[in-house]
Amino acid sequence: MPDVVEVYSAADEEISRAISLAQENLLRQQRPDGHWCGELIVDSTLCSDFVLFMHWLSEVDATLQERCVRHILKRQLPDGGWNIYYGGPSEINASVKGYFAL
């Protein structure tokens, strides 16, 4: 079994404080029944996959497809590609899916 390297000590006040603040923030946002609700930001690949899936099934919903196309184009980066996370660089898989769906 490999040796475990401890990156920080539980006694490290700065790290302990950061963990406490993160816990407090999460608990403050938690709903009374125990769940959290937040904004879901979807990268372009979900819509690209869905457009391709509709065509594969030969069951294209034109309105939904247009919404997906708008989402895909809105997420396109200045270099012409698409990323897989906010602020990330163009990624080949996401870019191929984007162009294929369009």
pLDDT at 2 over 60: no
Sequence ranges of the domains in the chain: 44-101
| Residue 54: predicted pLDDT | 97
Task: Output the pTM of the full model.
Answer: 0.62
Interval 15-72: pLDDT, tens? 888 889 999 999 999 999 999 888 777 789 999 999 999 999 999 999 999 999 999 9
As a three-state string, the secondary structure of the chain is CCCCCCCCCCCCHHHHHHHHHHHHHHHHHCCCCCCCCCCCCCCHHHHHHHHHHHHHHCCCCHHHHHHHHHHHHHCCCCCCCCCCCCCCCCCHHHHHHHHHHC
